[in-house]
Structure 1
Amino acid sequence: MIKKLLVIGPSWVGDGVMAQPLYRRLHERHPGLELHVFAPAWTLPLLARMPEVAKSHLNPFGHGQLRLRERWRTARALHREGFDQVVVLPNSLKAALIPFMAGIPLRTGFTGELRYGLLNDTRELDEHELPTMVERFCILAENDRHGLPRPIPHPRLISQAPAQRAVAERLGLSLEKPVIAMCPGAEYGPAKRWPARHFAALAQALSERGYQVWLFGSGKDEEIGAEISRLAGGCALNLCGKTGLDEAIDLMALARLAVCNDSGLMHVAAALDVALVALYGSSSPDFTPPLSDKAQIVSLNLECSPCFERVCPYQHTRCLEDMLPERVLQACLNLIAATAPISPTPNMATPS
């Protein structure tokens, strides 16, 4: 009998990428599995590029919104799907409510926020045994007494060449020069964002070496994208807010290299197997590292970092201010030299 399983997916783009190895492992454990994911709208383009996911369901509930009557209606719709099991990735009480209301027989997840009863297949989280988020996701595919198979394969997103060409043509983008993708935003807060003037100086240095620079981000990043483009004297094309996540994925797949803050787009670049320079300030790569064999991390490792604060508690953000463009440029050049050259024509990222 084919197993039908639902995953309550994460709310952040980066976490959504890091859940893909879990989906792969679930298929390994349950041949013929029909896997569905319940997730917020902004993460659905990720699921569309994961062949492990048969169907996605929109999670319309924002952070802090209870809306019990609407949750009941959503649960009834999911009940009609006839799921055998649900795996709940978020640790909140609200994330476990809908699976319980939907009457899914086996409800798996970590204990937390008084979820006893709502979940009936609970796991205690050992943070030392499972230091990274991807490990914590993947262990939920195993039996309670079964160890986690390692190494965990890196996340992979599929990007098809026709889609890449179509979005490049729509935006009038030339592929004559190799592309450097830069992702200057970070949804969490300014303590994770490398300064705009540093991005601009790096864009100028890379432009002098024959690369074109594309800036990626959401509508919230339009202002910083415009500032970088202005400071770079036109050496950086601001695409922030001009694409949805689906188009950004396809355009980033064309890049020779990506330079990213610790953000959701950093994990997207890693999952596309694009060479990646990852910039860490207030956060730490120990918990959410770029999952790629082509990544180089740049961090100053100051005494006050990682603090994991949205805004620098000392009001200086030296962990990023003192990360000079010359240092990041050298990391870019080292990585370009260490990775096989990629033609500036459209390519396809394929799963391992």
Structure 2
Amino acid sequence: MVMAQSLFLTLQANAPDCLIDVLAPAWTFGLLERMPQVNRAIAMPLGHGQLGLWERVTLGKQLRADAYQQAVVLPNSWKSALTPFFADIPQRTGYVGECRWGLLNDARQLNKQQLPMTVQRFAALGHPKGAHLPTPYPLPRLAISPAQQHAVQVQFKLNAEGLAAQKILALCPGAEYGEAKRWPTEHYAELARHQLKQGWQVWLFGSAKDQTVAADINRATLNACLDFTGKTSLAEAVDLLSLTDAVVSNDSGLMHVAAALDKPVIAIYGSSDPGFTPPLTAKAQIISLNLACAPCFKRVCPLGHTACLQGIRPEQVQELLPP
């Protein structure tokens, strides 16, 4: 969803008066509300992998009343193109994907060599078919207001004076995809202890699934970190991250959020490819050992050692943090 903002920016650049509504899972609304280009968010009632043929047809018919002129379909699945088709949207744009001829009438063939990055592929759909693609593509930028920052400080009882007096390091130790994208817990803990000794605050971020890892990191610092894992909504996590001074993260959704907040990000890559989904900010620094076996794109290391992550030492990350 963060990378999709580059598409929204492209659409508005090409048609400044256009209104952009986004059909997406409700849990992403906290992001969409922080994208000024989005006019309205519409909840997709089906989860990932659900066919829900009747629900997609019904939703499409409901959307006819809005008289949309164009739909841009980002997922490559056949089922994702059903709702725009039944909404009678005259221009339905997307990549051919799963044989979607007919469902899409502005179908594009994806040239992976010309567009190696996901964000490039999204932004390209904002231009007419066959158009010369300008570079660089627009970078995602989430907009957080002072009122939103104040509200999250009050919500989590954060001391404003303490925030002003100390730098804050955010650690994002989770990765929904699997353990082959997770920097070792003991490395995160060592980094946290070092930064705490330097007078920084250390905040831990993630979903409820990351609470065990975060608890292990915090325990290793004698509970000196502020642990937000599983305790925030996505919107609250975004607003809290906007208060931090630097972010260390695995290749994850929160890494992309931090980049869209234009934070100094140190992104740690193991099984995934930083050339495919990098953090989209000039302030990002990427650490990857570029081993012969990487990127393997596996959830679990097929060799059983996760050397691509184990070999990235905390000292390497420390050297890249701002003073």
Give the TM-score band, short-chain normalised: over 0.9
Q: Deviations over 1:253-306 (max 9, x none)?
A: 011100010000001001001111000011111001111111111111111111
CA distance in 1 between partners of 2:260 and 2:53 (Å): 36
Partner in structure 1 of residue 243 of structure 2: 254
Alignment partners' CA distance in 2, 1:87 and 1:239: 35
Structural mapping, 1:77-226, within 5 Å: 77-174=62-159, 175=163, 176-226=165-215
| Residue 320 of structure 1: aligned partner | 309
**Does structure 2 retain, via aligned residues, the 8 Å contact 1:86–1:99?**
yes
**2:202 match: secondary structure:** strand
Q: Is the 8 A contact 1:200 1:236 kept in 2?
A: no
Which residues of structure 1 form unaligned runs of 5+? 1-15, 338-352
**3-state DSSP class of the match of 1:46?**
helix
Residue 76 of structure 1 deviates from its aligned partner by 1.5
Q: Structure 2: how far apart are the matches of 1:52 and 1:250?
A: 18
Q: Aligned pairs, how many? A: 319
Distance 2:12 2:316 in 1: 42
SS in 1 for 2:99: coil
Match for residue 271 of structure 1? 260
How big is the shift at 1:189? 0.7
In the alignment, is residue 230 of structure 1 matched against residue 219 of structure 2? yes
TM-score (norm 1): 0.89
User: Equivalents in 1 of 2:266, 2:22: separation in Å?
Assistant: 30
What letter corresponds to residue 47 of structure 1 in structure 2? L
- Mapped to 1, the partners of 2:25 and 2:10 lie a distance apart of 22
Give the CA deviation at 1:149: 1.0
Please say if residues 204 and 225 of structure 2, whose CA atoms lie closer than 8 Å, have aligned partners that are also in contact: yes
Per-residue deviation, 1:235: 2.8
Give the TM-score normalised by structure 2: 0.96
Once residues 204 and 230 of structure 2 are traced to their aligned partners in structure 1, the CA distance between those partners, rounded to angstroms, is: 10
1:36 to 17, 21, 38: 21
Q: How does 1:280-319 map to 2 (within 5 A)?
A: 280-319=269-308
**Partner letter of residue 241 of structure 1?**
G
**Shift of residue 227 of structure 1?**
1.1
- Cα displacement (A) at 1:232: 2.0
The structural deviation recorded for 1:152 is 1.3
Instruction: State the Cα RMSD in Å.
Output: 1.0
- In structure 1, what is the equivalent of residue 37 of structure 2? 52
Which amino acid in 1 is paired with 2:313?
L
Shift of 1:173: 2.1
Name which of structure 1's ranges 27-36 and 246-255 shifts more when overlaid on structure 2.
27-36
Secondary structure in 2 matching 1:306: coil
- The structural deviation recorded for 1:46 is 0.9
For 1:224 and 1:203, locate their aligned partners in 2 and report how far apart those are by CA, in whole Å: 13
Shift of 1:166: 1.6
Q: State the SS of the aligned residue for 2:187.
A: helix
Question: Percent identity, aligned pairs only?
Answer: 51
Which structure 2 residue ranges, 5 or more long, are not aligned? none
Decide whether the 8 Å contact of 1:180 with 1:258 is kept in 2. yes
